[in-house]
Amino acid sequence: MKTIIKSFVGAVVGTILVLLIAFFVIKQHKPEQTAPIVKNQIQKIPEVKTSYLLPQNTDFTVAAAKSVNAVVHIKTIIGIKPQNYDNFFGSLRDYLYGQPQQALIAFGSGVVISPNGYIVTNNHVVDGADKIIVTFNNKREMGANIIGTSPSTDLALIKVDAKDLPYLTYGNSDNLKVGQWVLAVGNPFNLTSTVTAGIISAKARDIHILGGKTAIESYIQTDAAVNPGNSGGALVNTAGQLIGINAAIASQTGAYEGYSFAIPVNLVRKVVNDLMNYGQIQRAYLGVQIRDIDADFAKKMHLHDLNGVYVAMVVEGSGADKAGIKKGDIITAIDNHPAKDLSELLGIIGQYSPGNVVRVSLLRD
């Protein structure tokens, strides 16, 4: 391996091919100047009229029509419940199926992503399954096999032996905006697919449900109603494109209480491609130990901005090390995608494969 260093005005760029090739731009980290205080200026607060009516050009029917036939019901039969089995949406098996003494019956939803039978769902929906039965929106049932799973992202890829199936195409979760309308589509009751609408409430949410040092939690938060059995279902935009896989709800009762969380589709696409091509996840790493910046840490380290991710250590010999990233640097963006906190940074890096080239923007005193 060799290192290439090029000089630019006010910046240093280093490159090295070790897992990820790390580029970085160094900016002077200076406190922002404060605007002068102007006294005795009183402005009248403008009146703002609010409306809870949908914009007249908002139409969910096209997206719903595209989605309902591509979302399936998944029933799993598990002989012995594994210790790590935790269906975040709970189970309605007692309500719908009853439960034999010798087996656990659980279920969720899934999304058809190809005409030849590939279906993506949550790992916790099929974890430990001895048998998987998929029911389509037209009541057709088929057995499915697990192609691969990713516990660190709570995703799984299964397949049925079929062709010419309705399926959803990928959107781009990086382009999503808070306040954007979305639909949550699932098949929780093994009847037909259900559709609810809401808006994106937040992005890059880390809700600490997966555990483990390698877990990637960078969820899309929405207020679309999602209930038990919708786990693994689709989050789609108004064009009917898949933008996320529903994974969890924030609830004290197990039922919907206002917020749900979906795995961004750009991460889903990366995981699915890895499982199809390799049978396992190909994870990329910058080669740094990092942490969030909160108010206390910023005060302790004399930092002037809470945005970004603090580099606590650089792994010797890693791509980050050979590119020149140092302890104390603050990573602010990856390939011009802002990384305001740890969850956002991990979500971005999770979309890359070993050997990919990335440009890391950072601040350094």
Active site residue 231: yes
Q: How far apart are CA 23 and CA 322, in angstroms?
A: 10
Q: Does residue 341 contact residue 204 with C-beta atoms inside 8 Å?
A: yes
Q: Does residue 295 contact residue 306 with C-beta atoms inside 8 Å?
A: yes
Q: Give the HSE-up count for residue 347: Cα atoms under 13 Å, Cβ half-sphere.
A: 25
Query: Of 91, 109, 150, 154, which one is the catalytic site residue?
Result: 154
Q: How far apart are CA 284 and CA 19, in angstroms?
A: 6
Query: Of 231, 251, 260, 361, which one is the catalytic site residue?
Result: 231
Q: How far apart are CA 98 and CA 103, in angstroms?
A: 11
Q: Does residue 110 contact residue 71 with C-beta atoms inside 8 Å?
A: yes
Active site residue 218: no
Active site residue 124: yes
Query: Of 73, 91, 109, 124, which one is the catalytic site residue?
Result: 124
Residue type, 4: I
Of 125, 185, 140, 132, the residue nearest 159 (C-alpha): 132
| Helix ranges restricted to H, 177-230 | none
DSSP class of residue 175 equals G
Residues sharing a CB contact under 8 Å with residue 157, sequence separation 6 or more, in sequence order: 118, 119, 120, 146, 147, 148, 149, 271, 272, 275, 276
Residue type, 37: I
Of 209, 211, 194, the residue nearest 251 (C-alpha): 209
Of 273, 271, 201, 189, the residue nearest 233 (C-alpha): 189
Question: Parallel, antiparallel, or unpaired: how do β-strands 20-28 and 357-364 relate?
Answer: parallel
List phi, psi (to 5°) of 201.
-90, -30
Q: Catalytic site residues?
A: 124, 154, 231
